[in-house]
Amino acid sequence: MHVSLGLSTVVLLFCAQSAFSSRVVKRSEDLRQQVLGELNEFRAKYAEAAQVSNMNELSYDLELEKEASQYNSCHDENILNRLENEPHYALRKKQIEDDFIEYTALHRNETDELKGYFRNEDLFSTVLQPNVKKVGCYHFNNLCVHNIWSPAAIFTDVKRSTVRGYCIFGPKHRFTPDDTFYGKPGSHCSGKHTRNGLCKIFIELHGKEPIDHLNMLRMMSRYGFRLFNIEPNPYCRICCEYSLINELCIGQFGAVPLGVTIPH
């Protein structure tokens, strides 16, 4: 009787812990997909407002998320000083982004003036850098409050904002305002682009075993990407190009996923 009761208690505790862990994992994945969608939406809106022709679509990167988790405070001076050396972005009020998009649309022909908002100390030097391709973010357990960069008063009335967390971007090159090309969004992409003008992600694997291709596709599937095209390289028997799109973007094309084609 006591043994049976003890086993039942253990089983219940195990089930409760498993359910809690599942909820935590799902919440983490939901946050990743949410912030990725928000950042790509901001980049797409800016590309349209400023007529940026080479804005890349971002993908989510767990290694960059791990790096971002090192910056787990917005009050620690040592952390903030280290953060200045990283291509980063603070997740602030959406109103600030919307105000900047509106200002940009009204001043799209004043490109030199717009580039002045992309110095290292500004709000958008990294998140709207066309050449970044991936991002990882850390969300604070408690919201912080920051004063807004004073020159931003020209486009927003927001003086203070909550900060949800920090994002780190890659690849980590030395970016400049001159990396931005102007024209119809998507017209300066090296490959295809989304309907809203972001340059799409293409992956080509060279010299790998079939299991390596499958593992890569499984990893991308776990982060919400769907495979919509495969193109073998006619000049390389062991090379293949995979075209993927995030589930958050599928609705923009009026497409309906028929099923999961990547085996788990």
Residue 76 maps to a domain: yes
Q: Which residue has the higher pLDDT, 13 or 228?
A: 228
Residue 7 maps to a domain: no
pLDDT exceeds cutoff 60 at 18: no
Q: Looking at the structure, tell me whether residues 132 and 238 fall in a common domain.
A: no
pLDDT exceeds cutoff 80 at 251: no
CB 231 within 8 Å of CB 192: no
- Whether residue 263 is preceded by a cis peptide bond, meaning omega within 30 degrees of 0, is no
| pLDDT average, residue stretch 142-146 | 87
Residue 233: per-residue pLDDT: 64
pLDDT exceeds cutoff 60 at 27: no
Residue 187 maps to a domain: no
Residue 63 maps to a domain: yes
Q: Looking at the structure, tell me whether residues 242 and 130 fall in a common domain.
A: no
Residue 6 maps to a domain: no
Residue 126 maps to a domain: yes
Pairing of strands 59-60, 134-147: parallel
Q: Looking at the structure, tell me whether residues 57 and 174 fall in a common domain.
A: yes
**Tokens (6 digits) for 20:** 């809690």
Q: Looking at the structure, tell me whether residues 142 and 239 fall in a common domain.
A: no
Q: Looking at the structure, tell me whether residues 167 and 46 fall in a common domain.
A: yes
Q: Looking at the structure, tell me whether residues 219 and 164 fall in a common domain.
A: no
Residue 190 maps to a domain: no
Q: Looking at the structure, tell me whether residues 142 and 211 fall in a common domain.
A: no
| pLDDT average, residue stretch 84-106 | 91
Q: Please give the Cα distance from 124 to 198 (Å, whole number).
A: 17
Q: Any idea what the CATH number is for the domain that residue 75 is in?
A: 3.40.33
| pLDDT average, residue stretch 43-56 | 91
| pLDDT average, residue stretch 198-209 | 64
Q: Looking at the structure, tell me whether residues 105 and 23 fall in a common domain.
A: yes
Instruction: Give the model confidence (pLDDT) of 166-194 as tens digits.
Output: 999 988 777 777 788 888 888 877 666 66
Helix axes of 94-106 and 2-50: crossing angle, nearest 10 degrees: 20
**Tokens (6 digits) for 121:** 């100390």
pLDDT band at 24 (very low <50, low <70, confident <90, very high): very low
Least confident segment among 111-125, 127-141, 143-157: 111-125
Residue 120: per-residue pLDDT: 39
Q: Looking at the structure, tell me whether residues 131 and 213 fall in a common domain.
A: no
Strands (E), the chain: 59-60, 88-90, 134-147, 160-170, 202-205, 225-232, 240-246
CB 185 within 8 Å of CB 196: yes
Residue 172 maps to a domain: yes
Q: Looking at the structure, tell me whether residues 171 and 239 fall in a common domain.
A: no
pTM for this entry: 0.67
pLDDT band at 208 (very low <50, low <70, confident <90, very high): low
Number of domains the chain is built from = 2
pLDDT exceeds cutoff 50 at 121: no
Q: What is the domain range of residue 146?
A: 16-179
Q: Looking at the structure, tell me whether residues 84 and 23 fall in a common domain.
A: yes
Q: Looking at the structure, tell me whether residues 75 and 162 fall in a common domain.
A: yes
| pLDDT average, residue stretch 44-50 | 92
Instruction: Calculate the average pLDDT of the chain.
Output: 77
| pLDDT average, residue stretch 212-223 | 78
